[in-house]
Amino acid sequence: MHTLKPDRRSLPAQTYEQLRALIQQGRWEPGSQLPPENALATQLGISRATLREALRLLEEEGLIVRRHGVGTFVTPHPRLESGLERLESVLSLATRLGMQAHYQNLSVQTVEADRTIAEQLQVEKGTPLTLVSRTILVDGRPVAYLEDFVPTRWLSADDFGDAFTGSVLDALRQHPSLRVQEARADIIAICASRPLAHCLQVRPGDALLLLEETLFDASGVPLDFSRNYFVPDRFRFYVVRK
């Protein structure tokens, strides 16, 4: 491991970028422990204060976990991070972050809107909806289970063929007469049911993040209501306030 060379960036920023690169290159395997702080700081030719600031940045990004009195560990799997102000699909997010993403267990069926979903979509109870369910995998591991309810006047079951990417948001954006303008979302902590635990390869009762989201067009008409169940150690949502 080479010591850091002076440049215009701060030493903590340099240290953070070097350690980040080493983690991504596989210098330390997921779940493995980093050297003790004294040894690591000596190897890099920096102070412990500089190293601790770099480690703080890595921890905020979700690349490492620091356990008091035990040590610092590379997280088993990097987290996907997204600001809630950004309107994009999980698959697009993973691709943007350089991860391999795909979906499996796709189910597309026509159902009738129950009272709760009818209220979200501002339609009559019993309105025909297209229900699209699938599991999203990133780097080979299940990270989310998604359910979208779309009025059949916008998308029917026949619209989900071989060209479907896994993102209903992207499918709506490709609709010639629709313009997705915004989303309103609620985040709820829940416990995994047995069916969800099976889909996401977690234990029944494990914590999940439920993101309930409604998509609207430019005139405020609801286009889609979705329930998105995320494995929390693979996601980090944040809010940008200006």
Per residue of the chain (242 residues), what is the pLDDT tens digit?
555 555 567 888 999 999 988 887 888 888 889 999 999 999 999 999 999 999 998 887 777 888 888 889 887 666 676 655 566 788 887 877 777 889 999 999 999 999 999 999 999 999 999 999 999 998 888 999 999 999 999 999 999 988 898 999 999 999 999 999 999 999 999 999 999 999 998 899 999 999 999 999 999 999 999 999 999 877 777 666 55
Exposure letters 119-147 (e unless 16+ CB within 10 A, then b):
ebbebeeebebbbbbbbbbbeeebbbbbb
Helix (H, G, I), strand (E, B) or coil at 4: coil
For the chain, the structural domain boundaries read 11-74, 80-238
Position 53 scores a pLDDT of: 94
CATH fold for domain 11-74? Arc Repressor Mutant, subunit A (1.10.10)
pLDDT of residue 238: 65
Gap between the Cα atoms of 33 and 23, Å rounded: 11
Query: Are residues 203 and 192 in contact, defined by beta-carbon separation less than 8 angstroms?
Result: yes
- State the CB neighbour count (10 A cutoff) for residue 30: 13
Report, at the CATH architecture level, how domain 80-238 is classified.
3-Layer(aba) Sandwich (3.40)
